[in-house]
Chain A
């Protein structure tokens, strides 16, 4: 069963611009995680944000979480060609032992 849904499904921007991806989910969560997948490095964990947190930063990445709206956003600032990848949100519902992944956003950075 799908919990998170990413929006947009695909995004194409110019190098140096900022990229924003959104994730909406249906049930209460313990945490929400963002992962990146490209052909070179497989699926890589980016950030974990817990339900009692509103914002987290990691380098050029900024994640926000709004539990009242059941949504999260991932912002990548000053994008680079190497950021071209698919980005997935994954949610861990309260009491659950597993992550449920969304369908992903395919991000393309044009030089």
Chain B
């Protein structure tokens, strides 16, 4: 079974530029998550999709971050414009069933973003 795929693996941009990350979850997984992990901290949930609907985006900075999950499969997370404090690893995860916190999650390798 193929794992969660993410691209790019690394990205360096200047502040005020825009950036997009892509995630392909495990085939058949209903729930998809985007996390932000700042160095030395645990992952923080940004947004959670169930199929192509948003379940939780309470910690997504909506003035600069946006995400979509078209057709309930792939997802894209965008930052526009980026700030220095957005430097972090962006993790995508998926789980097979609805009810996100009740089941184990499968994580992709992450995208390390550096904003200069």
What's the minimum C-beta distance from B37 to chain A, rounded to whole angstroms? Answer: 8
Beta-carbon contacts under 8 Å, A57-90 to B: 88, 90
Tell me whether A20 is interfacial, beta carbon within 8 Å. no
Q: How large is the interface on A (under 10, 10 to 19, 20 to 34, 35 or more residues)?
A: 20 to 34
Please determine whether A96 and B42 come into contact, CB atoms closer than 8 angstroms. no
Beta-carbon contacts under 8 Å, A8-55 to B: 30-31, 33, 35, 42-45, 48
Expressed in whole angstroms, the Cα–Cα distance for A30 and B41 within the complex equals 23
Please determine whether A44 and B101 come into contact, CB atoms closer than 8 angstroms. no
What's the minimum C-beta distance from A57 to chain B, rounded to whole angstroms? Answer: 16
Please determine whether A97 and B104 come into contact, CB atoms closer than 8 angstroms. no
Among residues of B, the one whose C-beta sits closest to the C-beta of A92 is B101
Among residues of B, the one whose C-beta sits closest to the C-beta of A9 is B40
Expressed in whole angstroms, the Cα–Cα distance for A2 and B93 within the complex equals 19
Tell me whether B75 is interfacial, beta carbon within 8 Å. no
Number of A-B contacts (CB under 8 A): 59
Among residues of B, the one whose C-beta sits closest to the C-beta of A44 is B107
Q: A88-B42, A97-B48, A98-B48 are in contact. Are A42 and B108 (CB under 8 A)?
A: yes
Tell me whether B55 is interfacial, beta carbon within 8 Å. yes
Expressed in whole angstroms, the Cα–Cα distance for A102 and B43 within the complex equals 8
Please determine whether B43 and A97 come into contact, CB atoms closer than 8 angstroms. no
| Residues from chain B with Cβ under 8 Å of A101 in the complex | 42-44
Expressed in whole angstroms, the Cα–Cα distance for A103 and B39 within the complex equals 10
Among residues of B, the one whose C-beta sits closest to the C-beta of A101 is B42
Beta-carbon contacts under 8 Å, B31-79 to A: 33, 40-45, 48, 55-56
Known A31-B102, A33-B104, A98-B100; further 6 A-B contacts with Cβ < 8 A: A30-B102, A42-B107, A92-B100, A97-B56, A102-B42, A103-B40
What are the 9 tightest A-B residue pairs by CB atom distance, in nearest-first order? A92-B101, A101-B42, A43-B107, A45-B104, A97-B100, A42-B109, A99-B101, A101-B43, A98-B101
Seen from chain A, the residues whose Cβ lies within 8 Å of a Cβ on chain B are 2, 30-31, 33, 35, 42-45, 48, 88, 90-93, 96-104
**Can you list 27 A-B pairs, Cβ within 8 angstroms, ordered by A?**
A2-B42, A30-B102, A31-B101, A33-B104, A42-B108, A42-B109, A43-B43, A43-B110, A45-B104, A48-B103, A48-B104, A88-B43, A97-B100, A97-B101, A98-B45, A98-B48, A98-B55, A98-B56, A98-B100, A99-B100, A99-B101, A99-B105, A101-B42, A102-B42, A103-B41, A103-B42, A104-B41
